[in-house]
Structures are given as structure tokens and as C-alpha cells.
Chain A
Amino acid sequence: MIFLNFWLNMKNNKVGSGRIPYRNVSYLFLLFGIILSACETGSKSANENVQSRLSNKELKYFSHGKQLYTQYCSNCHMENGEGLGTLIPPLKGADYLLDSVAQMARAIKYGIRGPITVNNIEYNQPMPANPDMTSLEIMELLIYISNAWGNESKPVGLQEVEDITGSK
């Protein structure tokens, strides 16, 4: 917020009083700042409590995982993890994911074909395989999707992912 800086600078300097008193004007700048941001859409706070739940290392995985999610997943599962109608299943609050997070490593690596049931709704859209993703990337992605949007799961480990996908 440039305007906030303006305001603080002016407040600290307490420079003179011309025809327009600067201290009054500084409050107005703050007001304009508020007006300017008033029509922006609400900030994303869905991942807020992740900061307190995950360790620093896990948070690093989480944030890498978010980048991978944007690259590989969000076109279908959407940025908000809610999927699309009954065509693409959600990840947010999805029992299929949260009941066995580590098992999803296989789905990410090798894809899914045929019907699956998520939160009692049947979905039948093939999910593409991602054979080039490394186990580390899959782990990061899993940590992200199982802890974003209000999801809460114990972070999966690299060994688990390697065991389940059968590859390094």
C-alpha cells in the first residue's frame, strides 16, 4: 500500500502547515487507499491456519506443491479445489483423497480411468497420468492438496510416495 507509506511518512515527519494542513491530508490519502482497494475481490485466506499446523520444512513443500498444482491440476480441479459440477471431482473436503492421501500418489503418477465415487457422487472422467513427475514433486503436491482449502492431513513422506508409485 503506497498510500499507507505516504501516510506514515507524513505522520513521522510532521512537516509544516501550508494552506492545506498536511496531517489532515495524510488521513485522506489513507481513505483513498481504502476506497481504491474496496472493489477488489476478497483476499484468499483459506490456507491461513496452515502456517501454524505445518513445520517450516513442510510449509516449503506446501508452497512448492501449490506451484505444481497450478501447473498440473488447477485447470480441471480448479484453483479453489472444488472441481466442476459432477464432471470433475473436488479435492476440497473429498473423502476419496483424505481417507488415503498417500494412495493418491499412484493416481497422480499413472492417472485414473473408469468411474470413481467421491463424497457419494459418481464421477467418470479420465484423469491423465503424469509419468514425468518425480516422487518429491508428488509428495509436495500431496502435501498441498491435503492441507489446502481447509483440508487437514498429516503430511505424507517421500518414502511412502516411493513405495506406492514403485519409483524414485
Chain B
Amino acid sequence: MNIKGLKLVIALTILAFMYSCGNDSTEKLPIMGRTQYKEIDGKLDTIYHTIPEFQFVDQDSMIVTEETFKDKIYVADFFFGTCPTICPVMKQQMLRVYDAFKDNPNFGILSHTIDPEHDTVAYLKEYSMRIGVEDNSVWKFVTGDQDEIYEIGSAEGYLVPVGEDADAPGGFIHSGAFILIDKEKRIRGLYDGTKSIEVSALINDIPKLLAEYEK
């Protein structure tokens, strides 16, 4: 085989590998939500959408606030214990994320119940134990004031639809989204938590976000 042929072979091999295995580029994740611009002393300042302050209680009766995730990036989602539709598969997928990053001190997971009346602290403890989450050190299952949970899920916070709906199976509607939050409380990714391929993308993106803080 001549040189030209060999070059072609090498090029195609590289292309095939890139297409097949994906390439780990170090590009930055987007910053999501509405961005505002404010003029301060003649300079234009960019203000990104951030998650507001909050206070909930986790499965071990510990208070969880935005301070709990200080110097951590985290993934948030919304669910309810008696959900007959997408919650179990979301939890199966979140377990993949948990298993991949639970040993990283800069990582956390925050699952909000949208049915605090039923999902008490004791219930959340049993629920989390049953799916295999032994303690609250990484993955916090939180309950709290229903209105506050709905508010933080909405346009005020995580930008996902959550709420009561008598017509929906189980009585609640909620998004199956996994929301990736950085240390500045900005939204850096939204993933469909019911789809394995999107959760794989999340697992791929988390190290990229962590890498932003390493320098």
C-alpha cells in the first residue's frame, strides 16, 4: 500500500475512534437561565440566574440550606415517594451518578419531595435506605414547606415545572430533569433523568465542571 493509502487509513481510524467513543474536550459548560446586564460605573456587569437561598430538612432531620453545598457542585431533582410514573427510573439513573461521584468531597445530590405531606423525614429515610443510599453525607432527600419547594423548582430557582395536578397520575406533575448546579449556584446543565443516554452526558459533564475549579 502506498503512502497516500496509509494516510487515509490512519485518518479514518482516528475519525472512527472519535465518532465511536466521543472526545473529552475541555470546553466549558453553558451558563443557563436568563442573564441580566447592569451598568456599574460605566461598565456593563453580567448577572447570571442563580438558585435563591433555601432551607429544607433531610432524611436524617438535618437542616439543609445553600450553605450545605458551599464549595460543592450538586445535582438537584424533584420526585415523590408514591409516584407511579417516572420517579423510580429517575432514582435508578441518579444512583448511577451517585455511584460515580459519591467519594468526591466537592459533589452532592439534592432530591426534593414535592409531596411533603406524605413524604415525612421518616419516610424519606426509609425510601433512601431502600434504594441503597446508606447515609445523608452525599445525597440529601429533603422535605419542607410545600410552597417553598414549588417556588424553588419554578422560574425562581431550578427552572422546572413542579406542582399539584389532580389529573396527573399520583396527583402531582413534575419534571424528570436533573439540574447541575455550580459553586456559584448557577445552572450549568439540564438533563432528562429518565433517559440513560442523557444521564451519561451528565456523568460526562460533572468532571468538566469540577475541572473549572481546579486552577
| Chain A residues with a Cβ under 8 A of chain B | 19-21, 24-25, 28, 32, 35-40, 74-76, 78, 84-88, 125-126, 128
Contact = CB atoms under 8 A, between A and B. Distances in A.
Nearest to A35: B16
Given A24-B5, A35-B13, A36-B16, 9 more contacts: A35-B17, A36-B20, A37-B20, A38-B20, A76-B84, A78-B89, A84-B131, A87-B88, A128-B170
Given A19-B4, A21-B1, A28-B9, A87 B16 contact: no
Contact of A78 (B16, B21, B92, B169): B92
Given A28-B12, A39-B20, A128-B169, A20 B88 contact: no
A87 B84 contact: no
B8 interface: yes
A20 B4 contact: yes
Contacts of B131: 84-87
Contacts of A37: 20
Contacts, number: 65
A25 B12 CA distance: 11
A32 B13 contact: yes
Interface in B1-58: 1-2, 4-5, 8-9, 12-13, 16-17, 19-22
16 contacts: A20-B2, A24-B1, A28-B9, A35-B17, A36-B16, A39-B22, A75-B85, A76-B88, A78-B88, A84-B92, A84-B131, A85-B130, A86-B130, A87-B88, A87-B131, A128-B169
Contact of A76 (B13, B89, B127): B89
Contact of A35 (B20, B84, B92, B130): B20
Contacts of A25: 5
Interface residues of B, number: 30
A84 B88 contact: yes
**DSSP majority for the A interface?**
mixed
Nearest to B196: A79
A11 B127 CA distance: 60
B82 interface: yes
Given A36-B19, A84-B131, A87-B127, A128 B84 contact: yes
B20 A75 contact: no
Contacts of A38: 20-21
Contact of B89 (A28, A39, A75, A86): A75
Contacts of B9: 28
B211 interface: no
B183 interface: no
Contacts of B12: 28, 32
A21 B9 CA distance: 13
